[in-house]
Amino acid sequence: MNSATVELKVPSVGESVTEVEIAEWLKNEGDPVRKDESVLVLETDKATVEVPSPVNGRLAKALKKKGDRVQVGEVLGEIEAGEFAAPATQAEEEKKPTAASATKPSEARVMPVPAPPTAEKSTAVKTVPSKSADTRFMTEEVQPAVELAQAPEPEPSAPASSPVESDRAEEVVPMSLLRRKIAERLVAAQHNAALLTTFNEIDMSVVMALRKDNQERFHERYQIKLGFMSFFVKATVEALQEVPRLNAEICGSNIVYRNYHDIAIAIGGGRGLVVPVLRHAGRMSFAEIEQGIADFARRVKENKIKPDELQGGTFTITNGGIYGSLLSTPLVNPPQSGVLGMHAIQERPVAVAGQVVIRPMMYVALTYDHRLVDGREAVQFLRRVKELIESPVRMLIET
């Protein structure tokens, strides 16, 4: 049956993306593939994208290799359309009897090695690889080079390399497009903006109790857990409404104010930090926020986040607390003017109404572009977030 060959091309991965890098081939040449099954992973300067097979068939040829940079529309490989069985494993092949082993089993035996010789015409048995498909070894009678009694003592072998030397190995790995872009943006943020960070701390006891009381009903209704991030997204949107410059950006000699709130959520992936955007977060319910973040996290892990979902945020929230960070100074994601950093919740002694009590506390950090935002406004923003988290009844919860 004749089979057609289908070209596997670099798909369009975003309006501004023209070049991508091959991060990994998921299939080897000859491997069968199903329609819509991922064949390889491409990496842009914003995200990773899996390329699926357009047809059922097998990967006939891979025209590019891992690490190659390719243009949108360029041919990556060829898929031979049709139905192909998966190749047998090596273990399965070894279990199959061959014609030689079936007809001449005696030839496949290994001759026994005789005891060390005692006579002058002693012989030794030399084991050499066999050219037969099934006979692993064959024997050959040879004369010894010297008598065993006159054999010289073996010379001492060269000393093995010291553990210190073997532990000092180095590996040079090229930076991926995504990692290079992250590096460029972080350096640009520090060079092109006047960054300053201010801190505050939040008593998380009330919001923790509220989550515990409503968790079961919330999960039953929306099939997702009520997390802390939805509280902070809601509180951030309200605080941005009071301090609109943190939701704006500098464009030349102008300030661009936005009357919408697209909140970017930093999510750590296997190939680097990505920041997908919750569009119109101010209009979203707690459930919609939690569902959106969970969907982002799942697709980041599966390399299925879309480049368009990483563009256009007006403000960023990052949670270093999930990694155990107690305090940090997050960097602004240009051209945004601010980023809110959440951190680990830790029980600490605090003064409440003249008494020292133990409360679950979280440090929060706001890094902002001082060219646009004054220190007073930064403090006002953090105080508003603190008030809303410590008194979450001000925010409507759909349970």
**Contact (CB, 8 A) for 393 and 231:** no
pLDDT in the model for residue 75: 93
For residue 264, the surrounding DSSP H or E stretch is strand 263-265
| 186 domain-assigned | yes
pLDDT in the model for residue 258: 95
Same domain, 39 and 183: no
| 323 domain-assigned | yes
For residue 41, the surrounding DSSP H or E stretch is strand 38-43
| Residue 182 to residue 46: CA distance in whole angstroms | 8
374 is a catalytic site residue: yes
Q: How confident is the model at residue 3 (pLDDT cuts 50, 70, 90)?
A: low
Of 45, 65, 81, which closes a domain?
Answer: 81
Quickly count helices (H) and strands (E) in the chain.
8, 21
Residue 110 has pLDDT above 70, yes or no: no
Q: What is the pTM of this model?
A: 0.66
| Residue 66 to residue 58: CA distance in whole angstroms | 19
Q: Which domain holds residue 233?
A: 178-394
| Residue 136 to residue 266: CA distance in whole angstroms | 58
Same domain, 233 and 364: yes
Residues facing 138 on adjacent strands: 128
| 135 domain-assigned | no
pLDDT in the model for residue 160: 54
Dump pLDDT digits (tens) for 71-107.
989 999 999 998 877 655 555 555 555 544 444 444 4
| Residue 14 to residue 20: CA distance in whole angstroms | 11
Q: How confident is the model at residue 158 (pLDDT cuts 50, 70, 90)?
A: low
pLDDT in the model for residue 133: 53
370 is a catalytic site residue: yes
Helix (H, G, I), strand (E, B) or coil at 271: coil
Residue 126 has pLDDT above 70, yes or no: no
The angle subtended at Cα 90 by Cα 89 and Cα 95, nearest 5°, is 100
Q: What is the mean pLDDT of residues 61-72?
A: 90
Could you say which DSSP state residue 154 is in? P
Tokens of 193: 């903006």
| 141 domain-assigned | no
Q: What is the mean pLDDT of residues 296-308?
A: 85
Same domain, 246 and 387: yes
Of 81, 109, 138, which closes a domain?
Answer: 81
Dump pLDDT digits (tens) for 340-383.
999 999 999 999 999 999 999 999 999 999 999 999 999 999 99
Q: How confident is the model at residue 141 (pLDDT cuts 50, 70, 90)?
A: very low
| 101 domain-assigned | no
Q: What is the mean pLDDT of residues 160-185?
A: 74
Same domain, 183 and 77: no
Q: Output the average pLDDT for the chain.
A: 81
pLDDT in the model for residue 23: 86
Dump pLDDT digits (tens) for 177-218.
777 777 877 787 778 889 999 999 999 999 999 999 999 999
| 106 domain-assigned | no
CATH code of 21's domain = 2.40.50.100
Same domain, 77 and 182: no
Q: For the chain, how many structural domains are there in total?
A: 2
Same domain, 63 and 185: no
CATH code of 215's domain = 3.30.559.10
Same domain, 77 and 192: no
Residue 399 has pLDDT above 50, yes or no: no
pLDDT in the model for residue 109: 46
| 205 domain-assigned | yes
Task: Catalytic residue, from 31, 134, 295, 370: name it.
Answer: 370
Q: Is the dihedral of CA 367, 371, 375, 378 positive or negative?
A: negative
Residue 282 has pLDDT above 80, yes or no: yes
| Residue 233 to residue 385: CA distance in whole angstroms | 10
Same domain, 242 and 379: yes
Residue 304 has pLDDT above 70, yes or no: yes
Of 28, 58, 81, which closes a domain?
Answer: 81
* Percent of the chain at pLDDT exceeding 90: 54
